[in-house]
Structure 1
């Protein structure tokens, strides 16, 4: 008992658990664009339970994490389902089931400042950004090694074998995102159970961080990704942040992937205000390559679109305001406009064009019995010369409760 007690104490005393809830209403309107479906509209309630244990004592610490996901349909119908990404579709019709759920377990080992995790993962890397923009997060199965043993250097490497999409409880093999005009073509074997990744970020000083990451979606594409972030203090209360990204994606035998991506985002912060400008350019024989269902790590990834089509050039102007500067902490506002052109339409004449405008207004209660209750309204307008126009609204009520 004398040997086991400290190990058990660390395992339990360092553990933490929380539950997050999301009440999510989404309306996606195609009615003015001649799309096959005039409207998507659904309402659902989500619950996300997270548990993270501590580690046992000794040179090799052992622990376990758990993730419980539950989505409940509040309102949907076959004529309005299937395009919001909020709920699953039925196997033989577009009718959404009453609920869907997932339980994920993750074992972990720690040596010094290195941790190996095996099981359910939500890794966040330039080469893989799980989608968490709807009711429940996208999850993966596999292994991940994270190490911070070298000073100022963070290493990540591993393999993923299965994916559960944001509106599904099924685990399945992975494939590549094709998009409306990415012009990506795959062969007969378009899925795989191997996504390998390796890379790291080095923090040169408090202002500058650079990174390199490599990924291989077996048989479909290989990708090299470089990142640089720098924050330049100007005067007190003002700074200029630079975020530079470059990726080179090539095929891996069973696709035609050939893409170079350049992205640059510059944000000037002035007290409660932030002004942003971005530029993004795609070149090569296809658009950007990423795992289907994930968010591509792009500066012009916005509410509806990512502006990652073949040859596309896009610009963004953005403005943020934090009302804490006016004595209302927790209230925020964001508005942005993105325009893309030079899109390769294949055999169709001319170049494609598209634009999107977003507005977000959010408030999180800062104190009292309703602390951490968040309210958010997200509005988007998307117009294009080659696909369906979209008007969209999302209303989200969220709450985060630490259990211990």
Structure 2
């Protein structure tokens, strides 16, 4: 589908749905609908430990506090061969504390002229949806979570896209996804922009060759399928193409092996092949494997990730990357990098405290090709998460999470970071 046709389809579908729904408001459309209001209170502090501070502005830290609201609505479908429905999401972010010297955490939208955080920002997204049998076509605001495109929701407000997406489950065990995206709304923005290649330390990724006339792409095509062979094994293949930037093929296999009473071994194997599309030099093989041993309320994980080829891993700027060592801050996906991860999780329900969870992990990477006459790149990151969700009483479903990260690198930023997130979702109906 061309970019023009897709844009027209989105506009017509959304408009058509809004005009026809009053006459199609059957019981299922209303009875199956649901709405909720999520409230996020988010504090973030990032200290730059290297000499000179943040290389982009020289500041020693970024620190902000904000309040977010996410109003979500999902309708059911009208009756008939073609069921029609509509989803909507309204977002609002409010500044509680920030400053010109401490902005830039990604929580708040920045003024393009002054670099200061704006007092508020937000967006309204509408999605028309059509269902035939076990297939659903959506057009409008989308938040895909697929190996080749994963919308980011790690800050105050989520990242979203504009486009069309078909999800089909007509065959038992088989899930097919395909579509096209044309615009992205980043997590700290209210603008709908064209998509670009990740700009997270691009020099260490080795990306070159992008024509000066290309400022972004308004076409990301994707397709893929996953098949659940049984309760233990699921395999998948996905394809993604960011027009004028790269092509990507992704294979994934997840296997869960029961080992006895309250014991299991989960294997998650991933491989991606990325090549150029246009005049870029994207050329990457990304292999990753994560093995997790579960023992009662404990789990122990070991991960390995290896990059090869002429560049590092390619993905849409601002999104999450489907890599085993994509963690709180780093992705360990630079040119020729190899990395190891050790992880431990514990669910305190085992000690009679349901709702309390703990996670800690350590990732170390080396062998980064930084170019001629430069030493080998090395980095490490340590993460710790402590989260609690109230199980009953007047604070039931209130969640509190503390996230801590430490990063050290001989080619990137040295960071100490803390995030405190308090969230509550209020069902409206």
Q: TM-score normalised to the size of structure 2?
A: 0.92
Aligned to 2:40: 22
Aligned to 1:77: 99
Q: How does 1:217-296 map to 2 (within 5 A)?
A: 217-296=242-321
- Cα-to-partner distance string for 1:239-298 (whole Å, 9 max, x where unaligned): 000000000000001311000000000000100100000000000000000000001110
Aligned to 2:14: none
Q: How does 1:373-392 map to 2 (within 5 A)?
A: 373-392=398-417
Q: How does 1:70-149 map to 2 (within 5 A)?
A: 70-82=92-104, 84-149=105-170
Gaps of 5+ in 2: 1-21
Shift of 1:7: 5.2
Shift of 1:347: 2.5
Q: 2: distance between equivalents of 1:368 and 1:325?
A: 21
Q: 1: distance between equivalents of 2:348 and 2:110?
A: 40
- Cα-to-partner distance string for 1:43-93 (whole Å, 9 max, x where unaligned): 0001111100000000000000000110000000011112x1111111201
Q: TM-score normalised to the size of structure 1?
A: 0.97
Shift of 1:34: 2.5
- On the 8 A contact 1:46/1:136 being kept in 2, the answer is yes
Whether 2:64 is the aligned partner of 1:39: answer no
Aligned to 1:174: 195
Q: 2: distance between equivalents of 1:39 and 1:81?
A: 9
| SS of equivalent residue, structure 2 residue 28 | helix
Q: 2: distance between equivalents of 1:362 and 1:191?
A: 38
Shift of 1:195: 0.2
- On the 8 A contact 1:178/1:184 being kept in 2, the answer is no
Q: 2: distance between equivalents of 1:331 and 1:14?
A: 32
Q: 1: distance between equivalents of 2:182 and 2:229?
A: 34
- On the 8 A contact 1:190/1:254 being kept in 2, the answer is no
The total of aligned residue pairs comes to 400
- On the 8 A contact 1:378/1:394 being kept in 2, the answer is yes
Gaps of 5+ in 1: none
- On the 8 A contact 1:378/1:393 being kept in 2, the answer is yes
Q: 2: distance between equivalents of 1:348 and 1:178?
A: 23
| SS of equivalent residue, structure 1 residue 71 | strand
